[in-house]
């Protein structure tokens, strides 16, 4: 709901806080969809996954979304803490924070998490988990 309201209000020009909250919300939506699809995504041949109707591709997609969304969420939350550190302790303006850190921060967050998630796909490590094998992680 937060991401949609920021999108509709054209809030991207309202400063780094709004953009950070939007990116946290977007990552949360991605991770939530992965959690919702989680019980259905494992291959149908896995006996422990009672509701599984998927195959290895759906398992990989669900695991990718779970890993990518979850780690983007966590790193954006840390970036929001860094924003407030700069704003409160160092009395940095929003414009200065944007010019100095925002693009580099987003580039680092997206690149790092995309590499980690794609490495998981490429190495074949996104499979049904060992905990009852009911989710793809």
- Report pLDDT digits (tens) over 61-109: 999 999 999 999 999 999 999 999 999 999 999 999 999 999 999 999 9
Per-residue pLDDT at 12: 64
pLDDT tens digits, one per residue of 36-55 = 998 888 888 877 778 888 88
Whether 133 has a pLDDT exceeding 70, the answer reads no
Gap between the Cα atoms of 60 and 126, Å rounded: 6
pLDDT tens digits, one per residue of 5-43 = 776 777 667 789 999 999 999 999 999 999 999 888 888
Whether 132 has a pLDDT exceeding 60, the answer reads no
Gap between the Cα atoms of 88 and 83, Å rounded: 9
Per-residue pLDDT at 79: 98
Per-residue pLDDT at 68: 96
How far from 131 is each of 58, 103, 136, CA to CA, in Å? 19, 38, 10
Whether 57 has a pLDDT exceeding 80, the answer reads yes
CA 85 to chain centre: 23
The pTM score is 0.85
- CB under 8 A, 24+ apart: contacts of 71-74: 71/113, 71/116, 71/117, 72/23, 72/27, 72/30, 72/109, 72/110, 72/113, 73/24, 73/27, 73/28, 73/31
Gap between the Cα atoms of 49 and 112, Å rounded: 31
């Amino acid at each position: 709901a937060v991401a949609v309201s920021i999108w509709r209000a054209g809030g991207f020009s309202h400063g780094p806080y709004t953009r950070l909250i939007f990116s946290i919300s977007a990552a949360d939506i991605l991770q939530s969809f992965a959690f919702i699809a989680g019980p259905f995504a494992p291959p149908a041949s896995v006996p422990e996954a009672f509701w599984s109707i998927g195959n290895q591709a759906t398992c990989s997609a669900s695991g990718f979304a779970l890993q990518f969304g979850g780690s983007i969420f966590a790193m954006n939350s840390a970036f929001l803490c860094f924003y407030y550190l700069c704003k409160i302790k160092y009395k940095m303006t929003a414009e200065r924070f944007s010019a100095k850190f925002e693009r580099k921060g987003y580039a680092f967050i997206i690149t790092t998490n995309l590499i980690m998630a794609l490495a998981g796909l490429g190495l074949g490590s996104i499979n049904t988990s060992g905990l009852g094998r009911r989710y793809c992680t």
